[in-house]
């Protein structure tokens, strides 16, 4: 048996090494193909130096390819030529960046740059429409450019295979005319906006979560710092970032694919308008809600804030402060890192739990110990441990804060919030209580809340969480546990 396991492990290692080598060869081929396409586009007939100058500004294929949009009065041939000469940077090749890049490439934007350091995961595929199943594990920018080159070989595609950093952002942005913010975290949003303003680049910013999205065109028209006629920046609209513990990503909050796709397509549309329009429209915030009627609401934005830290005459953010790191975006936005909320004694790994409570397996009908699942009901319905109790985190946080020790009062649980189960609130109950969530973050907050309510009986009862949540449960206990 040991020999077979060693053979399997050896074969897996060889497969992984071969796949890595193949991925490297594919990247090299893609770079070579990209260079060949760019050279061909710049000089479509390099062997015939004596050919007469072209009578028409576009290639024959380009007239056929873009004809349907060139006959739209708002665009025309002049707009198409502007698109052809435009250089657009897309930061983020995910749910927003994929549809935005798709339509900008299709529209004939001359140069498209993509910035992203992530690789394609299978969980991306329901919404990140440039990536395909065969490209899982591949860098997102490489996967996206592979698709875009097949869509439109006339455009030039530049891959920035990295996460955007303050040190690199100014140098990357400097080579582009327009920037699209297709990221999903506040620190990067402020970095993108600040860099765009400091370099005089208009910015199209969007976000999406669950069933809702937002869209803004910022720093349009771009003007020097202190010029009140310039468009507002991200700091003008949001001078203070949201509390770190209120920021939810698509991975945690979920997203419907067409919602983020809608916002990405609208980013492409706004980018085309910025490139081809003669004048910038009044700044507005567009709010999309998939399950509301009407679907869209528009809020007029104010002009630049007179005390904005980046675009006003009192600006304190400069290219030097960005590059040097003295403008600390992570510190400015804060971090929601609950890893140190609990002590080691208040946490248990799924493997330790299974060893300590072998009789409390998912196959047995037992209520000892108590397991509280604090995921929202929609996630609890996807998969749950047998005999676990679902008390959503939103319900726990919405309840009023109770004084410590009320659970142990003589009259039982009368002072406890209604979500506390009666058997858990009993003054005689001392069975262990374990809290579990998806990743092991919310569960820590819930444990502290339960202890604030006095449910640990002044240390007589174990109240702890599963370190790593259900992700660790899958790794350590049940490999068949659904991963979503």
What pLDDT score was predicted for residue 478?
94
Out of 8, 250, 333, 383, the active site residue is 250
Is residue 182 part of an annotated ligand binding site? no
CA distance linking residue 264 with residue 104, whole number of Å: 10
Is residue 123 part of an annotated ligand binding site? yes
CA distance linking residue 330 with residue 53, whole number of Å: 54
pLDDT along the chain (484 residues), means of 10: 69 67 64 58 46 80 97 97 98 98 98 98 96 98 98 98 97 98 96 98 97 98 95 96 73 88 98 95 97 96 96 95 94 71 92 84 58 95 94 86 45 70 80 94 93 89 94 95 92
Q: Are 276 and 180 in contact (CB under 8 A)?
A: no
Domains of the chain by residue range: 60-333, 344-398+417-477
What pLDDT score was predicted for residue 7?
74
Q: Is the peptide bond before 358 cis (omega within 30 degrees of 0)?
A: no
Is residue 454 part of an annotated ligand binding site? no
State the residue for tokens 């609209």: 237
CATH topology identical between 60-333 and 344-398+417-477: no
CA distance linking residue 473 with residue 467, whole number of Å: 9
Distance of CA 24 to the CA centre of its chain: 26
What pLDDT score was predicted for residue 459?
85
What pLDDT score was predicted for residue 404?
44
Let me know if 250 is a catalytic residue. yes
Is residue 286 part of an annotated ligand binding site? no
119 DSSP 8-state letter = B
Torsion angles phi and psi, residue 173, rounded to 5: -65, -30
CA distance linking residue 202 with residue 216, whole number of Å: 11
CA distance linking residue 87 with residue 66, whole number of Å: 18
Out of 98, 182, 333, 437, the active site residue is 437
- Complete DSSP assignment for 125-160: TTT-TT--GGGTTSBHHHHHHHHHHHH-TTSEEEEE
What pLDDT score was predicted for residue 253?
77
State the Cα angle at 254 between 251 and 256, rounded to 5°.
Answer: 130
Is residue 311 part of an annotated ligand binding site? yes
Is residue 308 part of an annotated ligand binding site? yes
Contacts of 294 (CB under 8 A, 6+ apart): none
What pLDDT score was predicted for residue 49?
45
What pLDDT score was predicted for residue 55?
86
State the residue for tokens 């007179």: 306
Torsion angles phi and psi, residue 273, rounded to 5: -65, -40
Is residue 233 part of an annotated ligand binding site? yes
Matching CATH number, 344-398+417-477, of 1.10.260.40, 3.40.1650.10, 3.40.250.10, 3.40.50.2300: 3.40.250.10
Is residue 384 part of an annotated ligand binding site? no
Long-range contacts of 273-276 (CB under 8 A, 24+ apart): 274/178, 274/202, 274/204, 274/217, 274/220, 275/79, 275/82, 275/83, 275/86, 275/88, 275/109, 275/177, 275/178, 276/74, 276/75, 276/78, 276/79, 276/82, 276/83
CA distance linking residue 350 with residue 338, whole number of Å: 18
CA distance linking residue 26 with residue 358, whole number of Å: 48
CA distance linking residue 253 with residue 484, whole number of Å: 12
Per-residue tokens: 79: 């707009």
The third-level CATH classification (topology) of the domain covering 60-333 is Rossmann fold (3.40.50)
């Amino acid at each position: 048996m040991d020999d077979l396991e060693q053979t399997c492990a050896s074969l897996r290692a060889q497969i992984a090494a071969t796949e890595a080598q193949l991925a490297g060869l594919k990247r090299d081929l893609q770079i070579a193909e990209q260079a060949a396409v760019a050279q061909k586009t710049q000089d479509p007939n390099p062997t015939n130096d004596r050919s007469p100058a072209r009578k028409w500004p576009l290639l024959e294929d380009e007239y056929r390819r873009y004809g349907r949009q060139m006959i739209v009065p708002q665009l025309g041939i002049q707009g198409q030529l502007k698109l052809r000469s435009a250089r657009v940077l897309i930061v983020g090749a995910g749910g927003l960046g994929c549809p935005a890049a798709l339509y900008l490439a299709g529209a004939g934007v001359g140069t498209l740059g993509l910035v992203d350091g992530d690789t394609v995961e299978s969980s991306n595929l329901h919404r990140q429409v440039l990536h395909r199943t065969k490209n899982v594990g591949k860098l997102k920018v490489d996967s996206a450019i592979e698709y875009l080159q097949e869509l439109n070989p006339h455009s030039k595609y530049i891959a920035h295979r990295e996460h955007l950093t303050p040190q690199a952002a100014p140098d990357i942005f400097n080579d582009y005319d327009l920037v699209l913010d297709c990221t999903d975290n506040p620190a990067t949003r402020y970095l993108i906006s600040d860099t765009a303003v400091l370099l005089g680049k208009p910015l199209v910013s969007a976000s999406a979560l669950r069933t809702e999205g937002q869209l803004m065109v910022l720093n349009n028209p771009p003007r020097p710092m202190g010029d009140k006629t310039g468009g507002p920046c991200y700091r003008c609209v949001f001078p203070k970032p949201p509390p770190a513990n209120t920021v939810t990503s698509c991975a945690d909050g979920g997203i419907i694919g067409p919602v983020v796709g809608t916002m990405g397509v609208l980013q492409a549309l706004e980018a085309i308008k910025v490139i081809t329009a003669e004048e910038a429209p009044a700044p507005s915030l567009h709010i999309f809600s998939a399950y509301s009627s009407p679907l869209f609401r528009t809020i007029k934005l104010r002009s630049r804030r007179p005390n904005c830290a980046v675009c006003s005459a009192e600006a304190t953010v400069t290219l030097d402060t960005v590059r040097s790191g003295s403008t600390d975006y992570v510190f400015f936005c804060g971090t929601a890192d609950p890893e140190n909320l609990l002590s080691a004694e208040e946490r248990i790994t799924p493997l330790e739990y299974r060893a300590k409570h072998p009789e409390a397996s998912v196959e047995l009908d037992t209520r000892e110990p108590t397991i509280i699942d604090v995921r929202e009901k929609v996630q609890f319905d996807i998969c749950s441990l047998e005999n676990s109790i679902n008390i959503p985190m939103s319900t726990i946080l919405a309840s009023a804060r109770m004084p410590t020790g009320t659970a142990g009062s003589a009259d039982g649980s009368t002072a406890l919030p209604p979500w506390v189960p009666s058997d858990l609130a009993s003054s005689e109950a001392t069975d262990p209580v374990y809290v579990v969530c998806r990743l092991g973050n919310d569960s820590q907050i819930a444990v502290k809340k339960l202890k604030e309510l006095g449910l640990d009986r002044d240390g007589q009862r174990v109240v702890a969480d599963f370190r790593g949540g259900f992700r660790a449960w899958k790794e350590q206990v049940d490999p068949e546990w659904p991963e979503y």
